[in-house]
Structure 1
Amino acid sequence: MKKIFFYLLSFLFSMTLLAQQYPYQNTKLNANDRAKDLLSRLTLEEKAALMQNNSPAIPRLGIKAYEWWNEALHGVGRSGLATVFPQAIGMAASFNETLLFNSFTAIADEARAKSNKFSEQGGLKRYQGLTYWTPNVNIFRDPRWGRGQETYGEDPFLTSRMGVAVVKALQGPEGSEYDKLHACAKHYAVHSGPEWNRHSFNAENIKPRDLWETYLPAFKDLVQKANVKEVMCAYNSFEGEPCCGSNRLLTQILRDDWGFDGLVVSDCWAISDFYHTNAHATQPDATHAAANAVLNGTDLECGSDFRNLPDAVKNGLVDEKRIDVSLLRLLKARFELGEMNEKPVWEIPYSVVNSKEHQALALRMAEESIVLLQNKNNILPLNRKLKVAVMGPNAKDSVMQWGNYNGFPAHTVTLLEAVRKVLPESQLIYEWGCDRTNDVAISSLFSECSIDGKKGFVAQYWNNTTAEGNPVLTDVLSSPFHLTTMGATAFAAGVNIQNFSARYKTIFKPTKSGDVAFQFQTNGRTSLTIDGENVVKNVFANNTTNVYTLKAEAGKSYIIEILFSQKNADAALNFDFGSLIPVDLAASIARVKDSDIVIFAGGIAPSLEGEEMRVTIPGFKGGDRTDIELPSIQRRMLQALKAAGKKVVFVNFSGSAMGFVPETESCEAIVQAWYPGQAGGTAIANVLFGDYNPSGRLPVTFYKNSNQLPDFEDYSMKGRTYRFMSNPLFPFGFGLSYTNFTIGKAKLNKTTIKNNETVDITIPISNTGKLNGSETVQIYVRKINDTDGPLKTMREFQRVEIESGKSKDVKLSLKPSTFEFFDSVQAKVIVASGDYEVLYGKSSDLKDLKVIKVTIQ
């Protein structure tokens, strides 16, 4: 009885305190003052808890639980329905920062609307908050890097311009009472693979010039031009120090040189790499690691090692006042967002989520992302009277189109579906043809599954390994499973990274009799049950494996159940089932013999390239690629079609550059589609049939083959990207159109300037073709007699729409920063006196560029 009385008294006391408005509860005060007041009321243990991504509630002070982790790489990620735009690398190909800004404004509106709805249920959980770990502005220095798809390409200037647009859109108009969201520049810095050893990799011996001209400019611009509120430090080490414990990166450069006043967040479990023996192992234990990270500039941990900060203080490893510096930044951020207020501060209706306006933006962005690489004899656009065969492993794969770090669209238009809307069935042949990588592939039967009136599998998740109690989430999976905790990704929102279990259940009713193969790749305790019989008690499959074959009877119902529980640190469950189909090139070609044109939808997929994956098939390792050529089975199919006399339009889906030398011979046209999002099929069909004139430009160099690439683990820029290599297959900035543009002789308002002056350039451009279209005028700069510098480097670009037969003058201002290069004597980037070449044209290839000289006194 005394205990009950004590708790009641404590509760009433807390309520009385909260009824008294403390300064941190006063919305009329600024965010910094509110944060300072709240900070003064916290215990050391509470401070440590609030410095972890999964920040708990502190009821005595009215602080709600808050999860810092959220994703919006190309749409609100991992929290249900959202508009899914093309993958970031595809959006970069638009060279359209205005469209990118508008797209991310739509994403920000969806994010706020979804978070407002989630907040009605209490504290915000993972993938429900207002702090988004986007954009990824790492330099895509090597096409083998699996996460390069998340970036804006290989060029520092393009990456910066696109990244600034994303940050400004996400965070909302400057001067607003509250920020709409907070963006995050990641992964800082010198980070772009390999994935398989990122927890132990040390980027060392980086030339100062490469550091300041290639790896850091985008981060600097996001800090100084966009006021990005968060920076995420990378997994790898830089010059012997883990990036999240690098005083040089996080304090000397980021804060002292650039003036960053936001917060630094670690990549997930990166602090654990400080002391794990198979990682960096620079610290003896978690307590020292936590102290080291804070002392060197990491404010917020994605992980749980910061729970050791109270012990670090007691042991004299870090002072509590230093912890206060970091926590003040975190609290200030929450007040800037209005997250600490009682009611949402941006009242955006949920109806904006996947609205018609946002769907139209996704389609427009998908159209502008498509790059036409080859068009022999102007085979494109296609005549609608032709008989067309659609083939290839990516023709009707909607999940592939989503890329990674994705949301879930209401509907995804595949290429096959889109072509069916253009042509009558009498003019269309669909033939699968071949798998992406294997000579035997599975024809999925997910479409013949349903339960409780819903297509696919019902998924239930528990935050324990025994599936006990009520599930924390019930979901529906309508496509083959691609689930992993690699990269600290949860199987679903609200589900633990570790210590969790799941049950997947459906009723399978086949339309045809025959053998049905069950394929798994799994890391965890997995079992398969059919009609109550445990047919496979312990599925063991490091690579995709057929673990069971069901002799299915047409019309009969089969209850399928998969049980999974996390066993090892990194859990994975990839699953599909269906009929096994051996590739028969001759038979496939025979089935399309009556076609006039073959549209072959090939390439790779996010299930092959991505973040720290367990893929070990030939050509792929840990999410990266070991070569850049098209997988052999597809290459053989294209060559066989060519030998059979077929004209092939090859539509390539990938998040990275491919080595297409044989395909330039076997195919009439090559279209680079990236991972184009929910409207991708429609966008591609619009290009193929002439409803949209292609305007995308390559944000990366397409090399001829892997032999043109230096060692993957060498971070020197020598021999990499258009800035330091020549003779590519397709150059950076390249892209064809269905019309013709000519660029005239540029004029400068002055050719001799001082180092703080701006020079204006006027470039005449004419559309001499028969169609309206878009051209991207590109400006590159080279410092004459700079033997150590880049061959050329982009310093300006502008898309311009021009009607057929019309001309425009493109006027651009070349600011002093246009002529900035690293000076080895002063060890910094400066505008030095001397002669410069300004190269202008429509790609980075010298044959597409004209030159005009500028002298700086």
Structure 2
Amino acid sequence: MKRILTILLLLYITVPLTAQKASDARMNAFISSLMQKMTIDEKIGQLNLLTGGEATTGSVVSSGVENKIKKGQVGGIFSMSSPARIRKAQEIAVTQTRLKIPIIFGMDVIHGYKTMFPIPLGLSCTWDMNLVERSARIAATEASADGLNWTFSPMVDIARDPRWGRISEGNGEDPYLGSQIAKAMVKGYQGDDLWKNNTIMACVKHFALYGAGEAGRDYNTVDMSRVRMYNEFLPPYKAAVDAGVGTVMTSFNEIDGIPATANKWLFTDLLRRQWGFKGMIVTDYTAVNEMIDHGMGDLQQVSALALKAGVDMDMVGEGFLTTLKKSLQQGKVTQKQIDDACRRVLETKYKLGLFDDPYRYCNEERAAKEIYSEANRKEARAISAESFVLLKNADYTLPVKKSGTIALIGPLADNRSNMPGIWSVSTDFTKPVSVLEGLKEVAGSNAKILYAKGSNLTEDSLLEQRATMFGKTLGRDNRSDEALLKEALDIAVQSDVIVAALGEAAEMTGESASRTDIGIPDVQRKLLEALLKTGKPVVLVLFAGRPMTLVWEQQNVPAILNVWFPGSEAGTAIADVLFGDVNPSGKLSATFPQNVGQIPLYYNHKNTGRPLPDGQWFQKFRSNYLDVSNDPLYPFGFGLSYTTFSYSDITLSSNTFKPNEKITATVTVTNSGNITGKEVVQLYIRDMAGSITRPVKELKGFQKIELKAGESKTVSFTISAEDLKFYNSDLKFVAEPGDFKLFIGTNSRDVKEVDFKLL
């Protein structure tokens, strides 16, 4: 019997491998035959990625696109959508060019297409990989129905500085959680077969280290050791590669003094040779050209550097198109380098089935039926509610009753365009559900909803202009701050409870949206203070694209619900949670500091030689501040519920094990409250003594469970030597024998612990 099982297992492994080899052989033969017919100009043309001009985030819009397609100077187009428009452009490529090579069409489909899900930082707070994957699957279905076959997502940059605007676009501070999300997103976009017309090619970005820019300023310099790169920042990119991501995008920052887009070690040595990536590398928006300002040479020089580093496709800048032939003639690049880049672009198109059917994504019937459907919006509503993080709920202020009078106040209370958040380039801003609309729909006729704007986004009108770009205005009210406040207080005194919809506007985070002050804007804070003085219960519904500084709010506001930017169904999802139809279960994926002076602040830091003793606020000649404790306001993994959970002590199957063995850690979690709720049970490990210094805690596992009131569940985690591995000073991935601590709890701070040893 054992022999039969072995044979079946070998057949199970061998047949797919044989089929894959045959498929690769067919692709290689097809591409080789095609490339033998191509001129040098046609090969270089394949390396050129232009914008269709519908939705761009840079300062350049490609011109003369149609004429360039006819000349064979376009390999791909992004920011063009709809089956009709894409079919028209594709027809030019496959009927009016010599070799009839199809175009690949991309778009920034970041957290949804027409149906928008929570911003990625919010989505990461679900800690539910099935929901993460499902959101990407729906996004791929909608985008592909509109003619697209490529997305510039997922962004997996580890970010530990909330001043950086693009923290909103990633998955927070932790490499383990980030890696799980990277895999789920790639699987959701690409599915199990890229030839299916409802899947799209994913593009992991930004490779690499973009989230570690100095001072939290976008596009800024990054400088860190290889040990830190490998252990803390590279894992999510590698997870995406291991999951089969088809393409990789370069980052704007420099690494080791070389801009990433020209970094041969990064793309050739690490990505291709060490990790085995065989797909296409594309630059970010004009990243080749921007190396001129980095001080790397003129356009011809920087274009040659990028190609030699391993870059295959140049986004918008057209440095490849205009200089590579000259560089080839002058011996500054080789024919093989151009051929290798061209081959990878053509392979990407082959893998998408475009050579088989260039119009496989151009189906107007699909577009009419599958985009922004009722079913998709229903799922968006449910997923959004799972992303909300309850930060405070004193005296059971929440949930709000569906009766009496509710005052809804704030500049974000009756606004649709800001609900999808950043990177919602494809959505119709008139369609998202506002908070006001959502409360009225969910409460029905049982409650009276009164509304007042209360304040503008900020006192500074110029700042508001910068913070409400891309059609996401809040409609600045020209009345005085005093008049707006009076109107709000007039309805507040009539109410039983006040819901204050405050925080950031959507475009206060995202690309080129760094902030040095990450608190609630000035005039909104004054509004909140005045509302609290009425003596009515106040619920702060916080809109945010980053961790914010909320010490005063935590001290004074009875209830705080962080809703991030929830997407198309924002208002209904918020109402579901406010009224208790959904019990919040989100957990933070990024630490909230007390103030900006603590930044960068993250849970998996290392100890100094003079750590502050546990429970201490300050001690001279220790690593601390004079004016504030080392503690975060809200730790990584934190999030409350309308119920409570208790944890038993941890039980280990053994407190020692060998590298070829495993142990099991078990804890019993009990819903000690009165209603059903979900809890994210989190596992952390600490290596007590290593050949290099190790973090005080590292996330190594989590499970999201649902418990009825009074119900208990045993949760088990299996730990192997693989979970204990790290990159040592020689960049070898090792598990070192020695003593470890294991922690299980409701967040990174509040945990049970036990010791074990790897022999």
Q: Quickly name the TM-score band, shorter chain normalised.
A: 0.7 to 0.9
- Give the whole-Å Cα distance in 1 for the aligned partners of 2:470 and 2:108: 20
1:386 CA drift (Å): 3.1
- Give the whole-Å Cα distance in 2 for the aligned partners of 1:315 and 1:756: 56
- Give the whole-Å Cα distance in 2 for the aligned partners of 1:574 and 1:181: 28
The CA deviation string for residues 223-268 of structure 1, in whole angstroms up to 9 with x for no partner, is 12x1111111101111110101111111111111111111111111
Which of 722, 736, 745 is equivalent to 2:640? 736
1:457 corresponds to: none
Shift of the 91–431 alpha-carbon distance from structure 1 to 2, 3 Å rule, reads same
2:309 corresponds to: 296
Higher helix share: 2
- In structure 1, stretches of 5+ residues that fail to align are 1-25, 77-81, 116-128, 442-518, 522-542, 546-570, 613-622
The CA deviation string for residues 470-507 of structure 1, in whole angstroms up to 9 with x for no partner, is xxxxxxxxxxxxxxxxxxxxxxxxxxxxxxxxxxxxxx
- Give the whole-Å Cα distance in 2 for the aligned partners of 1:96 and 1:234: 28
- Give the whole-Å Cα distance in 1 for the aligned partners of 2:568 and 2:197: 31
Does residue 30 in structure 1 map to residue 50 in structure 2? no
Shift of the 774–265 alpha-carbon distance from structure 1 to 2, 3 Å rule, reads same
2:138 corresponds to: 106
1:434 CA drift (Å): 0.7
Residue identity matched to 2:745: G
Shift of the 110–102 alpha-carbon distance from structure 1 to 2, 3 Å rule, reads same
2:431 corresponds to: 411
Contact 1:389/1:599 (<8 A) preserved:
yes
Residue identity matched to 1:139: I
Shift of the 677–195 alpha-carbon distance from structure 1 to 2, 3 Å rule, reads farther
2:656 corresponds to: 752
1:726 CA drift (Å): 5.0
Q: Secondary structure at the match of 1:387?
A: strand
Does residue 372 in structure 1 map to residue 390 in structure 2? yes
The CA deviation string for residues 424-467 of structure 1, in whole angstroms up to 9 with x for no partner, is 497221111111212779xxxxxxxxxxxxxxxxxxxxxxxxxx
1:69 CA drift (Å): 3.5
- Give the whole-Å Cα distance in 1 for the aligned partners of 2:630 and 2:680: 21
1:286 CA drift (Å): 1.4
- Give the whole-Å Cα distance in 1 for the aligned partners of 2:601 and 2:665: 39
1:611 CA drift (Å): 1.2
1:88 corresponds to: 120
1:761 CA drift (Å): 2.6
2:299 corresponds to: 286
- Give the whole-Å Cα distance in 1 for the aligned partners of 2:529 and 2:400: 21
Question: Which deviates further from its counterpart, 367-376 or 782-791?
Answer: 782-791
1:651 CA drift (Å): 0.4
Which of 52, 67, 83 is equivalent to 2:48? 52
The CA deviation string for residues 706-741 of structure 1, in whole angstroms up to 9 with x for no partner, is 1212599xxx9899xxxx995111111111111121
1:795 corresponds to: 700
Contact 1:391/1:601 (<8 A) preserved:
yes
2:517 corresponds to: 627
Contact 1:440/1:582 (<8 A) preserved:
no
Question: Which deviates further from its counterpart, 365-374 or 634-643?
Answer: 634-643
1:5 corresponds to: none
Q: Secondary structure at the match of 1:252?
A: helix
Contact 2:399/2:578 (<8 A) preserved:
yes
Which of 441, 448, 455 is equivalent to 1:427? 448
1:828 corresponds to: 732
- Give the whole-Å Cα distance in 2 for the aligned partners of 1:733 and 1:28: 43
Which of 350, 373, 379 is equivalent to 1:361? 379
Contact 1:697/1:733 (<8 A) preserved:
yes
Contact 1:35/1:328 (<8 A) preserved:
yes
Contact 1:53/1:69 (<8 A) preserved:
no
Q: Secondary structure at the match of 1:330?
A: helix
Contact 1:834/1:856 (<8 A) preserved:
yes
Q: Secondary structure at the match of 1:659?
A: coil
The CA deviation string for residues 408-436 of structure 1, in whole angstroms up to 9 with x for no partner, is 15721111111122154972211111112
Q: How high is the sequence identity, in percent, across the aligned residues?
A: 31
The CA deviation string for residues 365-388 of structure 1, in whole angstroms up to 9 with x for no partner, is 101001111000011111223321
Shift of the 762–425 alpha-carbon distance from structure 1 to 2, 3 Å rule, reads closer
Contact 1:212/1:828 (<8 A) preserved:
no
Which of 702, 712, 721 is equivalent to 1:807? 712
- Give the whole-Å Cα distance in 2 for the aligned partners of 1:573 and 1:376: 37
The CA deviation string for residues 637-691 of structure 1, in whole angstroms up to 9 with x for no partner, is 1112222323210000011011111112331100000010011111111111110
Listed as ranges, the matches of 1:158-557 within 5 Å are: 158-173=177-192, 180-192=199-211, 193=213, 198=218, 201-204=220-223, 206-224=224-242, 226-275=243-292, 279-283=293-297, 285-303=298-316, 304-307=318-321, 308-342=323-357, 344-345=359-360, 349-350=366-367, 351-406=369-424, 407-409=426-428, 411-421=431-441, 422-424=443-445, 427-438=448-459
Q: Secondary structure at the match of 1:161?
A: helix
Q: Secondary structure at the match of 2:305?
A: helix
- Give the whole-Å Cα distance in 2 for the aligned partners of 1:238 and 1:775: 39
Contact 1:245/1:293 (<8 A) preserved:
yes
Contact 1:195/1:624 (<8 A) preserved:
no
- Give the whole-Å Cα distance in 1 for the aligned partners of 2:326 and 2:654: 64
1:174 CA drift (Å): 5.5
1:602 CA drift (Å): 0.3
Does residue 40 in structure 1 map to residue 61 in structure 2? no
- In structure 2, stretches of 5+ residues that fail to align are 1-21, 51-73, 76-92, 609-623
Q: Secondary structure at the match of 2:507?
A: coil
Q: Secondary structure at the match of 1:795?
A: strand
Residue identity matched to 1:326: A
Shift of the 238–254 alpha-carbon distance from structure 1 to 2, 3 Å rule, reads same
- Give the whole-Å Cα distance in 1 for the aligned partners of 2:215 and 2:247: 23
The CA deviation string for residues 146-182 of structure 1, in whole angstroms up to 9 with x for no partner, is 1111101111111110111000111111597889321
What RMSD over aligned residues (CA atoms) do the two structures have, in Å? 2.9
Residue identity matched to 1:30: R
Shift of the 181–573 alpha-carbon distance from structure 1 to 2, 3 Å rule, reads closer
- Give the whole-Å Cα distance in 1 for the aligned partners of 2:48 and 2:607: 39
- Give the whole-Å Cα distance in 2 for the aligned partners of 1:575 and 1:150: 20
1:391 CA drift (Å): 0.2
Residue identity matched to 1:306: F
The CA deviation string for residues 38-70 of structure 1, in whole angstroms up to 9 with x for no partner, is 122111111111101132537454425525532
1:580 CA drift (Å): 0.9
Shift of the 104–625 alpha-carbon distance from structure 1 to 2, 3 Å rule, reads same
1:140 corresponds to: 159
Shift of the 92–772 alpha-carbon distance from structure 1 to 2, 3 Å rule, reads same
- Give the whole-Å Cα distance in 1 for the aligned partners of 2:467 and 2:289: 30
Shift of the 653–194 alpha-carbon distance from structure 1 to 2, 3 Å rule, reads farther
With structure 1 as the length reference, what TM-score do the two structures score? 0.73
Shift of the 30–762 alpha-carbon distance from structure 1 to 2, 3 Å rule, reads farther
Shift of the 815–31 alpha-carbon distance from structure 1 to 2, 3 Å rule, reads farther
Contact 1:776/1:800 (<8 A) preserved:
yes
Contact 2:195/2:351 (<8 A) preserved:
no
Number of residue pairs matched by the alignment: 664
Shift of the 811–592 alpha-carbon distance from structure 1 to 2, 3 Å rule, reads same
Q: Secondary structure at the match of 2:478?
A: strand
Residue identity matched to 2:284: D
Shift of the 440–177 alpha-carbon distance from structure 1 to 2, 3 Å rule, reads closer
- Give the whole-Å Cα distance in 2 for the aligned partners of 1:745 and 1:295: 56
Contact 2:472/2:507 (<8 A) preserved:
no
Contact 1:520/1:574 (<8 A) preserved:
no
Does residue 700 in structure 1 map to residue 590 in structure 2? yes
Q: Secondary structure at the match of 2:294?
A: coil
